[in-house]
Structure 1
Amino acid sequence: MAAPLSHSAEYPADVTLVEVINSLMTSNRHPYLPHDDIYDQHEDIQALYQLNRYQFVWLNEDDSNRQVEDVLALLASAEKNGLNAQNYDSDHLARKWLQIKTGQEESPQARALYDTALNIALLRYLSDLHYGQIKTQNVKLADDIILEPINLVRLIVEAAAEKKPSELVARVEPVMPVYRHLKQALSRYRQLAQMHDTPRFAFSRTLRPGDHDPQMEPLRRFLTTLGDMPQPEETDAETQSEATLYDAALVEGVKNFQSRHGLGSDGVIGKKTVAALNVPLADRIWQIELSMERFRWLPRLKEGSLIIVNIPAFQLWAYDSIAEETEPPLNMKVIVGKSINKQTPVFMANMYFLQFRPYWNVPQSIVREELLPKLRRNPSYLAGQNMELVNRFGPNATVLPVNDETMTLLSRGRAKIRQLPGRLNALGSVKFMFPNAYNVYLHDTPTPNLFKRTRRDFSHGCVRVEDPEALAEFVLKSKQGWDRQKIRNAMRRENPKHVSLEKPIPVIMFYTTAMATADQVLFFDDIYNLDNPLLQALSRPLQKKAPDTVTSQAE
């Protein structure tokens, strides 16, 4: 049983309110809330009313009607933020407020119960909006990532005092540009889903520019609705031949659609394009909602540069500013870990330095699974790969001969393999380092042809970048003297060179199947099959009382 609340004699407390709070703390239930279990809100409720001197937060002044209705509107707007307003009992609280406002329930106890119910719902909503609905550690944070503390209790009390509850959302939601764009995309796709049915396309063959098909007109209307092609100009009635023609304007619309959905934008309508066209808009909506949830798992960063690698997108975005988007982010293709057994992990760490002309220190797992069998068959294999056997990694390593004794040491992890800088080096000419528990980093590659593939999960977990020069220029932009030419020279010199950044840059290895920019909404295949488990977790029904059993008095 929770200890009764105490209060200082320095200020008068509302006795009824204190009694109601003590009763709620004892019962762990709130009779005004269908989601009535309030155990998780114990500490916050006690802290909130202590901070407010055990006075009503919202029902304490002549203008309490407006204040309460602003809070109710805030809870009801949870859908705009990709959350379910039913989880915060917004409809039920609105009906209960009508009873109180019209005098059907006007006792001091009823008002105290309502004030506490409103704050419990608000705490739940703001917590989900700031931390996410799934409260486990979903994104591993490096030790040097500092979380900015946020005091939801204080924010609520301040908002009530300032009479600005409507500003609470902006004070707790993620500030990254991509989140703002996703929020806009959610509104737009919901409107599209309400106004338009998703057509079903069933082409009997692969369609190429110049082909004819009776579904060209519905396809044209659908792509226009999505914004992948402009509204057609008013012209004379088309002939039957023109209406069924896969013409140049429609080809461009299909290419835009393909580009936004992670497909090869060749304008050819094949099976993958048809499958993407047939995904219901409702499914696109929950993809956006899942993406917004995942962004809430990240620390609330406010300023400086940011790099996001979106694994299923096979793309990297580098933002000059977290808080403001003064220009489009740097964007490039990447290659990520294999989906079956070498998945790139989800985590966040700070980038501190670049290494030009790096050695590749081969991970023990690759040595054991791939290189040792080849060495046993061919002891000269390392020389052909510009590799060497060493006693340890680092500048003072001793090169060892390849023989039975050293291969035994290698199998036991007491010897290492590294690849020298050069044309064959698996890291290419530069690697971008951000210390993390997975030993994952960004790097160049000697096999750029793989970037031509649409699906690019080929690595052992690290991430290969399409344009290392541009990325190096981005991270070194505040480093005096490091222009594109100097970077290019450093990538071609013989000796390794370590270059520290002026200020660490957060790097997020992220996983989401929906992204958004200022110009477009992007969707991708769920290559690691992580969407459905999250969707099921978010859809799990909460324990709640039936509405007709809700009472009006504390037990």
Structure 2
Amino acid sequence: MRNFTSLSVIIAFSFLMFSFGSVNDESKLKNEKTVFEGVFKTNNNASLSAIDAESINNFYKKYPKLKTYQKDVEDLYKKKEYNLIWYDDKNVSEFGALLYEKVRLLSEQGVKAKMPYMELVDDVFNENVSNKLPQTDTELLLSNMYVFYASNVYSGVDPATLKKIGWYLPTKNISYTRILDSLMADPARLNKDENLLFGQYYKLQAVLQRYRNIEKNNQWKKIQIDSINYKDLKPFDSGAVIAQIRERLFFVGDLAQNSKSHVYDEEMMAGILKYKKRYGLKLNYTLTKEHIDQMNEPIGNRIRTIMLNMERCRWIPAKLANAQEYLMVNIPSFKLVYIKDGKYNLVSDVFVGTRMTETVIFSGMMDRIVFSPYWYVPQSIIKNELKLKMAEDKNYLADHNMEWNGGNVRQKPGPKNSLGLVKFMFPNPNDIYLHDTPAKSLFEFEKRIFSHGCINVKEAKGLALAILKNDPDWPEDKIDKAMSGEKETTCMLKTKIPIYIGYFTAWVNDNGEIGFYPDVYDRDKRLDKLLYSDSVALK
């Protein structure tokens, strides 16, 4: 085992102070300078002042497992005019030591990757190792360590791979040089920088630490039930299982205290509602066997889910949440939110595409609202469904308020129209849009995958009212009339609204409460295999 002696303790303590103190307290950083001075010295008497292209090429011949980072490292030195990055005179800089400690604690970022030749980097920071590497090797190893860290924490999966796995939301365009400059100017950004990472990332990171502590302290105990003779638990039931459930609710934060009572009392009822809300379940007090099975999901699986969703947050531009107005749909939670001026103006249940007709993950710009719309039936539905029904019943079209229109079939406006009384359009090659629905009963289901790909919105009228609230040309009475189902009417929006259709199976709200949602399209499984399979090439 490598000996980090008192140095690691000092560095770890300084990062603890960063985490729980003021991350902008520059005086702390200055005071810590004496800790690092004179510790990271090389054995070379000559002082290296620059790196050249030849030394970089020779380095990758010597350390071929790092070649994947060569282009990014070359770019670093070109933009730094080949000056040294990691040395203050003959010593490794304080920032280099801080970055090293973050790499050693990479698991806190939800990352499992390990840098090749990390044992050599360890030697650089081990004061008991006398046979130090040449300065050139050390300098370039640390540059590779930086790119390794930045690519895993700030970038994640590359854009080409994202397209292969069907993620078409906007991605980042980041510069490792600019990131390095900002981090060196303010090392506290190593702990948190919402200019680099989507804010949800840090919320998930905090919950990741909490769940790992629960796992470490063996507080996620299996709830023992009689699977064969189990009866649904309801308020004021009693038994040992109630106490077990109560303990779980306490550890995950759904109960403020653990009374250890064996009675399903009012306090526990409130905790159960909180739990069910976090999991997107139907809000009632009954606890079925399925609910207990869900609670008995190994905590390791929950931790893995958090890590996967931290990875998804890496792909999203940090500035997205700063937009003045936007809509976001999260497929696994079956929720839509409309945000304006940083506030949630509307939250609505939705249902999305089936496994055969999955809703695509992408973004668009909403440019119009269509009231009392026609529904132009897709050719795939005509071919696979309507033709058979028309053959069985010659009056099928008329009975369903449909008509032929230039070789196509369309359903006329009305309360039974499959699109309901309003649709929200954002041009895209997938022909996906938001719309109302006459099938309101489908919102009673917990797992809502019913559509042919479009997103059916429960509060569709409320969304229209919220979007047009400040438009004097569209007062509420005009919207009511347009939604009468008599005539299709289009409202062109004066300002286009960004809409993002995403896929997050774990999401933390502003209160720090995490919601877990079903992996309805098995995307977690695929991403898990991509990130953690032994056969996956080094990023």
Whether TM-score is above 0.5 comes out as yes
Corresponding residue for residue 38 of structure 1: 66
1:220 maps onto 2:246 in alignment: yes
Aligned pair partner of 2:290 in 243, 263, 272: 272
The one of 258, 262, 266 aligned to 2:276: 258
Which residue does 1:137 correspond to in 2? 162
Question: Which amino acid counterpart does residue 70 of structure 1 have in structure 2?
Answer: L
How far the C-alpha of 1:183 sits from its partner, in A, is 2.7
Distance 1:126 1:94 in 2: 16
Q: Check if 1:506 corresponds to 2:498.
A: yes
Secondary structure at 1:215 match in 2 = helix
- 1:66 corresponding residue in structure 2: 94
Change in Cα spacing, 1:24 to 1:370, as seen in structure 2 (3 Å) is: same
Q: Does 1:530 align with 2:523?
A: yes
TM-score by length of 1: 0.79
Measured in 2, the distance between the counterparts of 1:454 and 1:63 equals 59
| 1:447 lines up with 2:434 in the alignment | no
- Within the candidate set 432, 450, 453, 2:424 is matched to 432
Cα shift at 1:221: 1.5
119, 124, 130: which one aligns with 1:97? 124
CA distance in 1, matches of 2:51, 2:432: 58
Secondary structure of residue in 2 paired with 1:137: helix
**What is the correspondence of 1:367-516 to structure 2 with a 5 Å cutoff?**
367-391=382-406, 415-477=407-469, 479-482=471-474, 484-492=476-484, 494-516=486-508
**Structure-2 residue corresponding to 1:335:** 351
CA contact (8 A) 1:71 1:166 kept: no
Quickly say closer, same or farther: Cα 1:16–1:119, change in 2 above 3 A. Answer: closer
C-alpha spacing 1:265/1:158, structure 2 compared with 1 (3 Å): closer
Cα distance in 2 for partners of 1:544, 1:356 equals 51
CA separation in 2, counterparts of 1:76 and 1:476?
51
Listed as ranges, the gaps of 5+ residues in structure 1 are 1-11, 31-35, 392-414, 546-555
- CA shift for structure 1 position 534: 1.4
- Tell me the equivalent position of 1:33: none
Paired with 1:106 and 1:357, the residues of 2 have a C-alpha distance of 75
Match of 2:256 in 1: 230
Q: Which amino acid aligns with 1:316?
A: L
**Paired AA for residue 207 in structure 2:** A
Distance (Å, rounded) in 1 between the aligned partners of 2:517 and 2:117? 33
1:229-273 Cα distance to aligned partner (Å, 9 max, x none)? 22157xxxx9xxxx4322222222222212211222221111211
The aligned runs of 1:76-91 (5 Å cut-off) are: 76-84=104-112, 86-88=113-115
Q: In 2 relative to 1, CA 223–360 (structure 1 residues): closer, same or farther, beyond 3 Å?
A: same
Write the distance in 1 (CA, Å) between the matches of 2:300 and 2:420: 43
Displacement, 1:364? 0.5
Note closer, same or farther for the CA distance 1:301–1:15 as it changes in structure 2 (3 Å cut). Answer: closer
- SS of the equivalent of 1:80 reads helix
Q: Which has the higher contact order (CA 8 A, sep 6+)?
A: 1
User: 1:309 aligned to 324, 329, 334, which one?
Assistant: 329
Report what 2:15 is aligned to. none
Counterpart code for 1:132: G
Q: Number of residues paired by the alignment?
A: 483
Which stretch of structure 1 is more off in the superposition, 246-255 or 60-69?
A: 60-69
Separation in structure 2 between the aligned mates of residue 38 and residue 67 of structure 1, nearest angstrom: 22
Deviation at 1:424, TM superposition (A): 1.2
Match of 2:209 in 1: 187
In structure 2, the residue matched to 1:402 is none
Name the TM-score, length of structure 2 as normaliser: 0.81
C-alpha root-mean-square deviation of aligned residues, in Å? Answer: 3.0
Q: Distance in 1 between matches of 2:326 and 2:131?
A: 52
Amino acid at match of 1:66: E
The residue matched to 2:490 in structure 1 has which SS? strand
How far apart, in 1, do the equivalents of 2:217 and 2:475 lie?
A: 50
In structure 2, how many angstroms separate the alpha carbons of the residues matched to 1:544 and 1:390? Answer: 53
Amino acid at match of 1:23: N
Question: Which digits, 9 at most, give the CA deviation of each residue in 1:106-163, with x for residues without a partner?
Answer: 56xx222122112212212222333323651247577xx8766321123324544x36
SS at match of 2:246: helix
Match for residue 360 of structure 1? 375
Cα 1:131–1:361 shift into 2, 3 Å: farther
Question: Could you say what secondary structure the match of 2:491 adopts?
Answer: strand
- SS of residue paired to 2:193: helix
Letter of the structure 2 residue corresponding to residue 336 of structure 1: V
Whole-angstrom CA distance in 1 between matches of 2:310 and 2:282: 26
Per the alignment, residue 21 of structure 2 pairs with none
Residues 1:51 and 2:73 aligned together: no
- SS in structure 1 opposite 2:420? coil
1:115 equivalent in alignment to 2:107? no
Q: Which residue of 2 is the match for residue 399 of structure 1?
A: none
Q: Which residue does the alignment assign to 2:178?
A: 154
Alpha-carbon contact 1:291-1:513 (below 8 Å) kept: yes
User: Cα offset for 1:68?
Assistant: 1.2
Q: Mean alpha-carbon deviation: is it higher for 422-431 or for 75-84?
A: 75-84
One-letter amino acid of the structure 1 residue matched with residue 371 of structure 2: F
- Identical positions, percent: 27
Query: Which residue identity is paired with 2:533?
Result: R
8 Å CA contact 1:75–1:125 kept in 2: the answer is yes
For 1:262-317, what per-residue CA distance to the aligned partner results, in whole angstroms no more than 9, with x for missing partners? 22222111121111110122211111111121232334444322322222222222
Given that residues 478 and 502 in structure 1 are in contact (C-alpha distance below 8 angstroms), is that contact kept between their aligned partners in structure 2? no
- Seen in structure 2, the aligned counterparts of structure 1 residues 203 and 444 have a Cα distance that, compared at 3 Å, is same
Distance change (3 Å), C-alpha of 1:92 and 1:308: farther
In the aligned structure 1, how far is the partner of 2:177 from the partner of 2:194? 13
Deviation at 1:75, TM superposition (A): 2.2
What SS does structure 1 have at the residue aligned with 2:65?
Answer: coil
